[in-house]
Chain A
Amino acid sequence: MSAAKSIQGNAPTRTGRIGSILPGLSPAAFYLLLYVYLAREVDLRLLYNGGGLIDNFPTFYLDWGFLKGQLALPAGLVKYLCAFLAQSFYYSWAGAAVVTGQAWLLGLGTDAYLRQIGAPRLRILRFVGPLVLLAMYSQYVFYFTQTMAFTLAVLAACLFLRFAPQGAVRRGLCFGVLSLALYTALGAPSLLFAFLCAGAVGANDYSPVRQRYREALWYGLSAAVVPYLVGVLAWGLPALEAYVELLPISLGTRANEPSELMLKALWVLYLFLPVTVGAVGLWNLTFGRRRPSPQRVPPPADGPWTKRAAPKGRNFQVQNPKSQTNPNDQKGRKFQTRPAGVLAMIVLAVATAATLYVYHDPGLKALFAVDYYSREGLWSQVLDTARRCGPHYLICHDVNRALYHTGRLGDQMFSYYQDPQALLLSGKEALWQKADTCTELGLLNEAEGALSNSLGMFGEKPLLLQRLARIYLAKGEVETAGVYLRALSKVPFWRRQAVAVLTQLQNDPNLTRMEEIQHLRAVRLKQDFVRPADVLRILLGENPQNRMAYEYSMAWFLLTKDLAGFARMFNTYHNAVETRIPRHYEEAILLCQATNRGTVELGGRSVSQESVNRFESFTRALEPFGRNLAAARQALGRSFGDTYYYYFVFRDLGAR
C-alpha cells in the first residue's frame, strides 16, 4: 500500500492532501531539476564533442562488425549499450534524458535495496547515486559506462532479492548463473551484485545465523570465483584486471588523469551501498535481537525466502518484518509524515547545493563550450563565452580564431587575454585544437599529423574522421578520404553528411564545385621542408592573398613585441590583403614611431586621429609613474587595458 493512499484514506484534509502530494513531488522535482541542469547548464553535447579533453567517450558504429567486436570484449555488452546510449549526447536534451533516466533507475534500485535490507528509514540515500552523477557531469568527465554498470548491478541485486526461487539450492544455482551472466555483461561491477546480495542476506535478522552466513558465504565465494573463471580463464585478462575492469580503480579516462575529487565521487557511488548494508548488518547484530519484532515471521525450514500469498508466480522476497507495511506506522515510507518528509527534502536540497558548490565549474564549461563553438564556427558565442571566463591557453587560441573570422583580430585581440604560445598552440601539445587552425592557414600536413595522432589518442571520433577526410580531399588523396568518409557514414548523425560528400566525389572526383576544398587547395603550403622555419612567412610568400597567414603573422609579431618584424610584414603584404589599418596596427605603428624600432610605410594612408590622441593620453598618463610599472599597470588597466601599447609595456609584468 502506498503512503499516499494510506493518508488519503485516513485524513482527507487539506494538509493531508498536501502531505500526500509532497512525497511524490520532491523526487519528481529533483529529477526534473536534474534534467534541466544537465540539458541547459552542463549542456551534455559538450561531452559528445569532447574538446580534445575526453579520451574515453565511446565510438559507435551502426555496423554488425562493430557489434561483434564489442561483444567479444570483456564487459562488451555494457560497453556496447553505453556506446549506443552515449550517442544521445549529440543532442543535449536527449543526453540529459538518458542520464536522468539512469539517475532515476539508480534511485529506484537503491530504494528497493534499502527496503530489502530493512532500512527504509535510510531511503534518503537513494539520492546519493543521482547526486554523484550530478557531480560527474558538472566536472565534464565521462564515467557513463562505470556508472551504468553500477546501476545495472544494483538493479540486478534488487531483482534477485525480489524474485529469486524459494529453495536454497535453486536460489544458489540461480545466483551462480546470474553472477556469470552479469560478469560477462558488466565486468567487475558485477562483484557489487554479489556483495549486495550477500549483504542483504547477512544483514537480515530473521533467519538462523548459520543459515544466513552460509548463504552469504556462497555469494561471496562466487564473487571471488566468477571473475577468475570468466575474466582470467575465458577472456584471458590478467588476474588483477579481471577483478577491477570498469571499477573506479581501473580508471584512466581522460587525457589529463581524473582529479582526486572525481575519483572520490565515483568511490562514493560504489561504496555507499556496501557501507550501508554493513552498517545495517552491524546494527542488527548489535541491537536487532534485543528488540521485539511485532511481526516476526518464523523462518521457514528451507531458508529466509518465503513465498508471498499473492500474486502467484514470480513472487518471492525477503520477508523482513521491518520492511512490512504497517498502516499504523507510516514512518520510513517515502516522505510520509510531514516532519520527516520536510526534513528529507531539506537534506536533499542541502546535499544538492553542496554537490553543486563543490563540483560545478563554470570555467570547465567555458573551456568545453568555446571549443565546441569554435568547431561549429559560432564565433560570436566563442567571444561571448570567453569574455565571461578567466584566462586560459586554449580559450585564448579560439578567441583569436573567432576574432579573425569576424574580421576583428587586428582591432580587438588585446581586449582579451593573450598568450603568444596560444596563437598557434606552439607551447603545448594540444593536437585536437590545433588541427582546424592549421587547416585554415594552409598547413595541411601539420593538421593531418595532429588529427592522426588525435585518432590514436581519442579513438575514432566522428569529428576527427570528418576533419581527416577534409584534409585528404584537399590534398587530392581521394581514396584515403573515401575510407574515412565510409567509416563516418556508419556513425549515427554523421551518415548524411558523409554520404553527400561520397556522392559528390563520384560525380566530381576533383571536387571543383566544393568551395571549401578549392579554398584549402589554394592556400595549401606548397614548399616541402622538414626543418624549423617561419611557416607563416612562407605561406604568405607562396600566396600573398592568404589573409589568415597575414593576420596571424601580424598577431605573432605584436604578441612577441617584434615591432621591426611587424613593420616589415606591414610594408610587404598589407596592401595585398587589407584596405584599412586595424586599430592595434595603428597602435603598433605609433609605437614603432615612438621607439624607432621599425619604419612603417603608410603610403597614402594615415593613422586615425583617435588612435593618435589615445596614444598621447597613454604616454601622458604613464609618465608620472616613472619606473614604477607595477603601479602604472594597475592604474592604467581600466582606461588602456585593451590597447596594444598597454600589452607592450606591461606584458612582462603579467598584463593580460
Chain B
Amino acid sequence: MRRWSATACLLVIALLALGGTIRWAFARVERVEPFVTVDRPAPIFPDYNGTVIPPNIAPLNFEVRAPGTAYAARLSAKEGNPIEVWSREPTLRIPAGPWHDLLAKNRGSDLCIEVFIKDQSGQWSRPTPVTVRIAPEEIDRYLVYRKLYPAHLQVRDSMGIYCRDLTGFQETLVLGSSDCGKACLNCHSFPRNHPDRMLVGLRSPQYGTATLVVEGDAVHRIDKKFGYTSWHPSGRLAAFSVNDLPAFYHTSRNEIRDTVDLDSFLAFYYTDTKSIVVVPQLARKDRLENWPTWSGDGRTLYFCSAPKLWTDNAEFPPAQYDQLRYDLMRIAYDPNTDQWGEPETVLSSKDTGKSIAMPRCSPDGRWLSFCMCDYGYFPAWQESSDIYLLDLRASAATPRPYRRPEFNSNKSESWQTWSSNSRWLVYSSKVQNGSFTRLFLSYIDSQGKAHRPLVLPQKDPAFYESCLQAYNTAELVTAPPRVTGARLAGVFRRPSDTALGLPTTGPTPIAKPVPQNAPSVPGRVQRD
C-alpha cells in the first residue's frame, strides 16, 4: 500500500513538473525589438481606441486582427509600471492585478496600448498605438442585467438575471427562469443604485404572474404584474406602469417584432403600507401613460404619455399603431405630504417628430436621458431608436434643448441606466451585430458630453461574436443584490403573502384574438 502511495505521489509530482515546464516554455516572453513602426491603426478587437474607461473596469483583453506568428502588447501610462503581455495566439489577456494598479495610479490620464505583431519572417511591427482615457470617476461596481434569446416569446430555461462584477469577469445568477417554472423574467429595478430594495416581475405558466419585492433580507410576492418600474429615491414607494402590451410580427421589416401599448396607466406601490395607489392624473382613460422615472431628488416623476388614438379595441394591432408617439411629461410630487401636482409636458412628440420612451434621470438631477424612435413605446424593437440627453438645469425654453450623443448608431440604442455618481451611462445597442443587444459603457462628463463608449468587456474578447443571447435592462448597483437564486425563486413559487388590488381604473378590455382564416398570417402573441 505504501509503495502504491509513494508511486502515486511521484507520478503527481512528475506531472506537475512536466506541466510547469511546458507552461514555462510556451509562456516565456520574446524580445520584440527591433520593430518597425507602421502607420496604420492597431487592428485590435474590440476597438478601444478613443474610448473613456472607468478606473475600476476589468482588464480590456483584446484580439489582434492581423496575421502573425506572435503578438505582444505594452500598456503604459504616466505613472506606474507598464504591463507587457505576449502570446503566440492573437488574443492578448491582461493580468488583473497590474491592470488595476496601473488604472488606479492614472485616473484622468491616458493609457497607451502599443501592439506588436511578428510576421512570418520574424520581423516585429508596431502599428499606431491605441489610446484610451481613464476617467477620474469610477463606475458602480456591479451591473445587473437580463440575458435572453432575442425572440423571448417562448421561454424555457434560457432567461436569467445576472450580476456582473465590473472589476472582473465574474457573473453570478440572480434569478434564472428554470428555477421559476420557466418564467419570463421582466424588468428589475433598484432605488438609487442600491440593492437593498429590488423589484422583479415574473410570469410563469406554472406559478402565475407576480412581482417579487425585496426589502433588505425580506422577500415577498405580490400577485400583480408591475410593468416598467422606478423606485422613489427614498425607497418608500415605487412607481410602475400597468400595461397591456401584446407583441406582433412584421412580415418584411428587418426587425420582425413589434408591440403596441393598448392601454396603460401609472400606479404606485408603498412599501410601508404594502398598498397600491393610483393617481387619477396618471390614469387617464384617453391617454397611455408609461415609463415612469423619478428625478434625483424624488420631487418630480417623469413619464411618457400618448393620446389613445383608437376606440375600437377589437382590431389588433390598431390601425394607428405606427402613429402613436409619446410625449415626455412630468408631475410634481411632495414626498412629505404625499401630494401630487398636475402633469405638464416637458418635451412634446409634436416638436421632436418622434416618440419618446425609457426616460432615466441621473441621480444628481442634472440630466435626463431618453430614447426617441419613429413610433411606439418600445425602442428596443425600433431600428430608429437613439438615446438623447436633456439638461434639466437648462432654461425651460420650448422645445427644451436636447442633444444626441455621438455614440448612437443606425441600429437601435435603448435601455439606459446611470451610475450613482451620474458619470456613467450604460445602455443597450445592436450596433455590433444587428439582432443582439450588447451593453455599452459611456462616460458623461460634467458638460454632458458623452464620450466614445466601450462594450462591456469579457474575458474572451471574441465572446460576443458567437454569443446568441441578448443583454438588456441593465441596472448599475453599488453592491450585489442581497437576495438571489433559490430564495427569490422559492418565494415566487409559494402563494402570495400580499393580497393587493388595483383601486381604480384598469386597462381597457383586451382586444379580441385575430381570426385565423387566412393560410398564413401574422398575429398577436403574448410578449414576455
List residues of chain A with CB under 8 Å of any chain B CB. 55, 65, 232, 236-238, 313, 423-424, 426-427, 431, 438, 443, 445-446, 448-449, 452-460, 465, 472, 475, 477, 479-480, 482-484, 486-487, 489-490, 524-536, 552, 556
Chain B: how many interface residues by the 8 Å CB criterion? 52
Residue among B150, B153, B251, B517 with the most chain A CB within 10 A?
B251
Q: Which residues of A contact B464 (CB under 8 A)?
A: 483
Structural contact, B433 and A479, CB atoms closer than 8 A: yes
Structural contact, B522 and A529, CB atoms closer than 8 A: yes
Structural contact, B151 and A455, CB atoms closer than 8 A: yes
B31 on the A face (CB < 8 A): no
Structural contact, B251 and A528, CB atoms closer than 8 A: yes
Q: Which residues of A contact B518 (CB under 8 A)?
A: 426, 532-535
Q: Which residues of A contact B251 (CB under 8 A)?
A: 443, 445-446, 525, 527-530, 533, 535
Instruction: Decide: A238 near B433, CB < 8 A? Known: A65-B460, A445-B251, A449-B249.
Output: no
Q: Which residues of A contact B4 (CB under 8 A)?
A: 313
Q: How far is the CA of A475 from the CA of B255 in the complex (A)?
A: 10
Structural contact, B465 and A457, CB atoms closer than 8 A: no
CB < 8 Å: which of B179, B258, B436, B490 contacts A483?
Answer: B436
B521 on the A face (CB < 8 A): yes
Structural contact, A424 and B154, CB atoms closer than 8 A: no
Name the interface residues of B495-522: CB closer than 8 Å to any CB of A.
Answer: 514-522
Q: Which residues of B contact A65 (CB under 8 A)?
A: 460, 463
Structural contact, B151 and A453, CB atoms closer than 8 A: yes
Name the interface residues of B85-132: CB closer than 8 Å to any CB of A.
Answer: none
Structural contact, B151 and A449, CB atoms closer than 8 A: yes
CB < 8 Å: which of A238, A427, A448, A465 contacts B486?
Answer: A238
CB < 8 Å: which of B155, B253, B432 contacts A528?
Answer: B253
Query: What 12 new A-B contacts, CB under 8 Å, besides A431-B154, A448-B256, A531-B521?
Result: A238-B179, A313-B4, A423-B519, A427-B516, A455-B149, A456-B154, A482-B433, A483-B465, A483-B466, A525-B252, A530-B321, A532-B521
Structural contact, B514 and A457, CB atoms closer than 8 A: no
Structural contact, B249 and A532, CB atoms closer than 8 A: no
User: How far in angstroms is the closest Cβ of chain A from B441?
Assistant: 21
User: How far in angstroms is the closest Cβ of chain A from B313?
Assistant: 15
Q: Which residues of A contact B248 (CB under 8 A)?
A: 530
Digit string of B139-151 for contact with A (CB within 8 Å is 1, else 0)?
Answer: 0000000000111
Can you list 24 residue pairs at the A/B interface with Cβ under 8 Å? A236-B484, A238-B489, A238-B493, A424-B520, A426-B520, A443-B251, A446-B249, A448-B151, A449-B153, A453-B153, A456-B149, A456-B151, A459-B158, A472-B435, A475-B254, A477-B435, A483-B467, A528-B250, A528-B251, A530-B258, A530-B321, A531-B521, A532-B516, A532-B517
Structural contact, B520 and A459, CB atoms closer than 8 A: no
Q: How far is the CA of A527 from the CA of B252 in the complex (A)?
A: 6
Digit string of B413-433 for contact with A (CB within 8 Å is 1, else 0)?
Answer: 000000000000000000011
Q: How far is the CA of A528 from the CA of B254 in the complex (A)?
A: 10
Structural contact, B150 and A452, CB atoms closer than 8 A: yes
Q: Which residues of B contact A528 (CB under 8 A)?
A: 250-253
Q: How far is the CA of A401 from the CA of B383 in the complex (A)?
A: 35
User: How far in angstroms is the closest Cβ of chain A from B369?
Assistant: 26
Q: Which residues of B contact A232 (CB under 8 A)?
A: 486
Q: How far is the CA of A483 from the CA of B432 in the complex (A)?
A: 10
CB < 8 Å: which of A236, A443, A535 contacts B485?
Answer: A236
Instruction: Decide: A480 near B486, CB < 8 A? Known: A456-B149, A530-B250.
Output: no
Instruction: Decide: A479 near B317, CB < 8 A? Known: A238-B490, A445-B251.
Output: no
Structural contact, A526 and B252, CB atoms closer than 8 A: yes
CB < 8 Å: which of B156, B253, B521 contacts A459?
Answer: B156
Residue among B4, B435, B514 with the most chain A CB within 10 A?
B435
Q: How far is the CA of A465 from the CA of B435 in the complex (A)?
A: 14
Q: How far is the CA of A472 from the CA of B257 in the complex (A)?
A: 15
User: How far in angstroms is the closest Cβ of chain B from A431?
Assistant: 8
User: How far in angstroms is the closest Cβ of chain B from A521?
Assistant: 12
Structural contact, B519 and A534, CB atoms closer than 8 A: yes
B20 on the A face (CB < 8 A): no
Structural contact, A236 and B486, CB atoms closer than 8 A: yes
Digit string of B444-460 for contact with A (CB within 8 Å is 1, else 0)?
Answer: 00000000000000001
B1 on the A face (CB < 8 A): yes
Digit string of B239-278 for contact with A (CB within 8 Å is 1, else 0)?
Answer: 0000000001111111011100000000000000000000
Structural contact, A483 and B433, CB atoms closer than 8 A: yes
Q: Which residues of A contact B341 (CB under 8 A)?
A: none
Residue among B464, B467, B522 with the most chain A CB within 10 A?
B522
Q: Which residues of B contact A238 (CB under 8 A)?
A: 179, 486, 489-490, 493
Structural contact, B516 and A426, CB atoms closer than 8 A: yes
Q: How far is the CA of A65 from the CA of B493 in the complex (A)?
A: 31
Q: How far is the CA of A63 from the CA of B317 in the complex (A)?
A: 43
Q: Which residues of A contact B17 (CB under 8 A)?
A: none
Instruction: Decide: A424 near B249, CB < 8 A? Known: A456-B156, A483-B468, A530-B317.
Output: no
Q: Which residues of A contact B490 (CB under 8 A)?
A: 238
Structural contact, A480 and B433, CB atoms closer than 8 A: yes
Closest residue of chain B to A471 (Cβ to Cβ) is B256
Closest residue of chain B to A447 (Cβ to Cβ) is B256
Closest residue of chain B to A455 (Cβ to Cβ) is B149
